[in-house]
Amino acid sequence: IVCVGLGYLGSRPAEGIYPFLSLVLTIYYFAHFLVILPVLGWVEKTKPLPASIADAILPKKAAAAPAE
């Protein structure tokens, strides 16, 4: 949404409200990558890693069945 907004505002004349909106969207664009995403990495809790891929995918009590 921000990229589309900046693209639209870049096609408008540099007068009126357009420069201010461009400034606001530009600040949010850089804040998203430099502030929001790093903070999200500290705040968000991740799931523990499984012992193996098979443990995460296969049902717990499944037995191997011969192919027919």
In a domain, 61, yes or no: no
pLDDT at 62: 54
Question: What does DSSP assign to residue 25?
Answer: H
Minimal CA–CA distance to 7: which of 37, 35, 29, 34? 29
Higher-confidence position of 26 and 51: 26
Minimal CA–CA distance to 33: which of 5, 2, 54, 66? 2
Q: Convert the pLDDT of each residue in 6-44 to its tens digit.
A: 999 999 999 999 999 999 999 999 999 999 999 999 999
Range of the domain at 21: 2-47
pLDDT at 58: 67
In a domain, 63, yes or no: no
In a domain, 14, yes or no: yes
